[in-house]
Amino acid sequence: MKKCVLLFFIASSAAAQSTLDSVRSKGYLQCGVSTGIAGFSQPDSRGVWRGIDVDLCRAVAAAVFGDATKVRYTPLTTQQRFTALQSGEVDLLARNTTWTLSRDTSLGLNFVGVNYYDGQGFMVPKKANVRSAKQLNGATICLQPGTTTELNLADYFRANNMKFKPVVIEKLEEVLNAYFAGRCDAFTTDHSGLVALRASRAPKPDEHLILPEIISKEPLGPAVRHGDDRWFDVVKWSLFAMLEAEELGLSSGNIDAQAKSPNPAIQRFAGASGDLGTLLGVDNKWAYQIVKQVGNYGESFDANLKPLGFERGLNRLWNQGGLMYAPPLR
């Protein structure tokens, strides 16, 4: 109880000053990201952060400053991430984090939306000749602490009357080393993480199999501190702008030409009519800047996740059979 009260106090204090004003005063957005998950948030060979979570950070900077480069990144482990947001160390947490009821209500934060619909899975060495999670009874399983992964894993094995031995290691690099060294029969995390980590971290990716079972719902999305509705709105609609842009057919390559269209929806989006930016407390060309400098959601997905073997699946737009849906920008 004392811990919850303390966290609430910290979160309330951090939100005392408007985050939007604080970010503007600093001249940059401090964004909390992962310690390195390919496709979501990871520095490239030149030290430039890339990924769909990184693009969300850049989109918010484009909306606030008209400049997507005004972002600084704070790598956070699964156990550090919520405290960093609560304390004000970061302005935004964009770190492949699952939206759950307990996190949404007890940690002093708000999830702004979903930028990747996911589910937990398992990866095993192919030589183990395991083809289903139902064959993992008695297995030693590597995972990280402080995640929904632990609870989902326990629930799945209990529901299927199976047993397992957890090997819990905080740092991603160390838990992967343990799995690849053969200390565990399987590694479990979000399916997206399995795909990304097999492609980018496995010494021999072809020697590892991702099992077909998805044992949970993992809606991944960015979060902000509770109690600052203006900042909540700015981050939320920055995400929605990337989705709406894809639906409208607006991309970084055609936004300038399309902005001249007589289509009222595009006129509002590009800031040529209406006062959507004023309502958010940013420039009326906020959405135009997001698309021009960062791109739409599909562009971000194709640039960051598609090369790793990801398929759109549930992350297609709603009118293409997926779940991605932005409320009307009007």
Output the pLDDT for position 256. 97
Residue-level pLDDT at 17: 74
263 and 289 both lie in a single domain: yes
* Domain stops at, among 216, 244, 263: 216
325 falls within a domain: no
Whether residues 113 and 8 share a domain: the answer is yes
Domain housing 296: 2-117+220-310
Whether residues 295 and 259 share a domain: the answer is yes
pLDDT digits (tens, 9 = 90+) for 27-41: 999 999 999 999 999
CA-to-CA distance for 20 and 25, rounded, in angstroms?
Answer: 9
Give me the CATH number covering residue 242: 3.40.190.10
Per-residue pLDDT at 26 = 97
Residue 16: predicted pLDDT: 57
Work out the average pLDDT over 276-300: 97
Question: Does residue 12 register a pLDDT over 50?
Answer: no
In this structure, is residue 233 part of a structural domain?
yes
- pLDDT tens track for 304-318: 999 999 999 999 999
Q: How confident is the model over 66-88, as a mean pLDDT? A: 96
Asked if the model's pLDDT at residue 25 lies above 80, the reply is yes
pTM of the model: 0.90
Q: Is the pLDDT score of 246 beyond 90?
A: yes
Residue by residue, what is the 3-state secondary structure of 220-286? ECCEEECCCHHHHHHHHHHHHHHHHHHHHCCCCCCHHHHCCCCCHHHHHHHCCCCCHHHHHCCCCCH
Number of domains within the chain: 2
Q: Based on the domain organization, do 198 and 81 belong to the same domain?
A: no
Q: Answer whether residue 324 is part of any domain.
A: no
Rounded CA separation 229/249 (Å):
30
Q: What is the pLDDT of residue 5?
A: 43
Comparing 6-10, 150-154, 277-281, the range with the smallest average pLDDT is 6-10
| Cβ contacts of 86-89, under 8 Å, gap ≥ 24 | 86/7, 86/10, 86/11, 86/14, 86/225, 87/10, 87/14, 88/10, 88/13, 88/14, 88/225, 89/30, 89/32
Query: 171-210: per-residue pLDDT in tens?
Result: 999 999 999 999 999 999 999 999 999 999 999 999 999 9
* 316 falls within a domain: no
pLDDT at 7 over 70: no
Residue 9: the pLDDT is 43
Q: Would 201 be classed as within a structural domain? A: yes
Residue 322 forms part of a structural domain: no
Q: Phi/psi zone of residue 129: left (φ > 0), alpha (ψ -120 to 50 degrees), beta?
A: left
Is 10's pLDDT higher than 90? no
